[in-house]
Structure 1
């Protein structure tokens, strides 16, 4: 199954994780494409691909500004047909009240549109998960790749 990695970030952390996962998927001979801050008008999610969302939380639970139009389009239904399944990596900092709030808001919008998680979301905590490359690599190899093959 093809994978489209869609990122939403302010400082590029989501994009860094996307590149780590992309390299693992390529090694596993999976087709992958990265779309940073997807445009809700031009972004087309195909039924035969898995969207993997990697979204950072800014402030106290806020969705990054460049990614917000996409989330609003999902929530409003203005993005057409969505695939049945998705995967989600939410980035946040547990020092804030709304830990991984952006990921949880996206998750609520996806579920409201009838999508189902392929697996439980992976939540990164900026306060404790300093070795994100190893965590992302392990999650990709142990959870994501077996689901795609």
Structure 2
């Protein structure tokens, strides 16, 4: 069973990092091995296909990927590794009062899909207009992500 989850986050004000840390704690409690990647560690990081990947990102500017996640995102895009065995999840934080709602999360999702990776379950879109506690919604999503994962591996 694949039981290592790599967590990558892109954050502007720290919310996405907090959500990623909350997910990490929940995964550890569930018996997964995890690695929460700090942005300076991501250079050259291609997610191993034998492990799982969860990307948590907020959106900035005109629907842009946060500055701390951009180098990794564009590096992955340019080397374009083929990742048909990689299973992943995306948690996107956004504000639905903007036209570019959760755009960074959508870009990450599209990139991973283009690289051949397989998303487990739905992408979670957390709306700052609706929730003051995105980490709580993230834990609910994680539970169903985990169930979808188990049925994939069965």
TM-score normalised by structure 1 residue count? 0.88
Report which stretch shifted further, 20-29 or 133-142: 133-142
Distance 1:133 1:104 in 2: 19
Counterpart residue number, 1:33: 35
Whole-Å separation in 1 of the counterparts to 2:124 and 2:100: 16
Tell me if structure 1 keeps the 8 A contact 2:81–2:115: no
Question: Is the alpha carbon distance of 1:146 and 1:115 closer, same or farther for their aligned partners in structure 2, counting shifts above 3 Å?
Answer: closer
1:52: which partner in 2?
54
Task: Name the SS for the 2:93 alignment partner.
Answer: strand
Matches within 5 A, 1:61-100: 61-76=63-78, 78=79, 80-82=81-83, 83-100=85-102
Distance in structure 1 (CA, Å) of the matches to 2:103 and 2:148: 28
Larger mean Cα displacement after TM superposition, 32-41 or 110-119? 32-41
Could you list the structure 1 runs, at least 4 aligned residues long, displaced by more than 4 angstroms after superposition: none
Q: Which has the higher contact order (CA 8 A, sep 6+)?
A: 1
Tell me how far apart the structure 1 counterparts of residues 41 and 82 of structure 2 sit (CA, whole Å). 16
Residue 100 and residue 113 in structure 1: after superposition, are their counterparts in 2 closer, same or farther (change >3 A)? same
1:9 alignment partner in structure 2: 11
Measure, in 2, the Cα distance between the counterparts of 1:103 and 1:121: 8
Give yes or no for contact 1:8–1:54 (8 Å, CA) kept in 2: yes
Q: Where do 5+ consecutive residues of structure 2 fail to align?
A: none
State the number of aligned residues.
148
The worse-fitting range, judged by mean Cα deviation, of 54-63 and 128-137 is: 128-137
Answer yes or no: is the 8 Å Cα contact 2:44–2:75 preserved in 1: no
Quote the offset at 1:84 in angstroms.
2.3
Cα root mean square deviation, aligned: 2.0
